[in-house]
Amino acid sequence: MAHPLEALLALQEKDRKIAKLQREIRDIPARKADIDKQLEGAKTRLAAAREDLKKVTADLKQLEVEVGSLRDKITKYKQQQMEAKNNEQYRAFLQEIATAEKAISGLEDREMVLMEKAEAVKAVITERETELKSEEDGVSEEKEMLNERLQEVQEDLGAMLADRGRITSNVNPSLLSKYERLFKNKGDFAVVQVEANHCSGCHMRLPPQVTNDALNPDKLVICNFCGRMLINLR
Ligand SMILES: [Zn+2]
């Protein structure tokens, strides 16, 4: 007569595979969220670079306005200079013009710096656009793969649950419910074998009586140390 726990060992093997598939199904949304997060990061980096360019462009425009207004002033000074009533006035306008031209030259230096900065930022934007594009391509590919995997896992799970049903139909219901409670509590094994006089669940050395009883198909033997069901298939 086969030991009744042998059927449970087969069931347990199936249940461990089922639990693994269920974990994988549970983890897939988190993996998708990670992928989305990575994509969001690339979007944020591109937006930041575009924001930088906007700022540099605005600064450049502001400088152009300032230069324009100084040039207007110079034109005005030159007209007034021609209408100067004396040398002193004439020289005063000359001085004003020189000051304005110096200011323009300073502004133009700053403009050069900003234009170089704008070029650098544009290069960064191009780089980040490429990065985002590749992230987007990667994302749809990775999600596609995850969806395929999900479908595969769900099919495997369905088949395993059907197998499980076939196995459990041959197990005594009260033993089955004991096993199920224990499997859930332990999270790994409910039924373990005696191996070289030790419980292979908790690795404690078992008394000879227990080792012997675990051979007997009429006895349900529980490990005193970990509470798992023991079977001795020696
Ligand atoms: Zn044990």
Model confidence pLDDT, tens digit, residues 61-82? 999 999 999 999 999 999 999 9
Spatial distance between the Cα atoms of 11 and 169, rounded to a whole number of angstroms? 11
The string of pLDDT tens digits covering residues 165-202 is 999 998 999 999 999 999 999 999 999 999 999 999 99
Spatial distance between the Cα atoms of 13 and 159, rounded to a whole number of angstroms? 14
Q: How far is the CA of 215 from the centre of ligand 1 (A)?
A: 16
Q: What is the pLDDT of residue 1?
A: 63
Residue 234 has pLDDT above 90, yes or no: no
Q: What is the pLDDT of residue 41?
A: 95
The string of pLDDT tens digits covering residues 92-110 is 999 999 999 999 999 999 9
CB atoms within 10 A of CB 122: 15
Average pLDDT, the chain: 95
Cα separations in angstroms, 153 against 18, 21, 34, 77, 164: 10, 6, 20, 83, 16
Q: What is the pLDDT of residue 126?
A: 98
Fold classification of 14-171 (topology level): Helix Hairpins (1.10.287)
Spatial distance between the Cα atoms of 147 and 169, rounded to a whole number of angstroms? 33
Residue 210 has pLDDT above 90, yes or no: yes
Under the banding of pLDDT at 50, 70 and 90, the label for residue 2 is confident
The residue assigned the tokens 């930088």 is 52
Q: How far is the CA of 160 from the centre of ligand 1 (A)?
A: 28
Q: How far is the CA of 57 from the centre of ligand 1 (A)?
A: 73
Q: How far is the CA of 202 from the centre of ligand 1 (A)?
A: 4
Spatial distance between the Cα atoms of 96 and 140, rounded to a whole number of angstroms? 64
Pick the closest to residue 157 from 44, 32, 15 (CA basis).
15
Q: How far is the CA of 189 from the centre of ligand 1 (A)?
A: 10
Residue type, 58: A
CB-count exposure of residue 55 (10 Å: 0-12, 13-18, 19+): middle
Q: How far is the CA of 200 from the centre of ligand 1 (A)?
A: 7
Return the domain boundaries, the chain. Answer: 14-171, 172-234
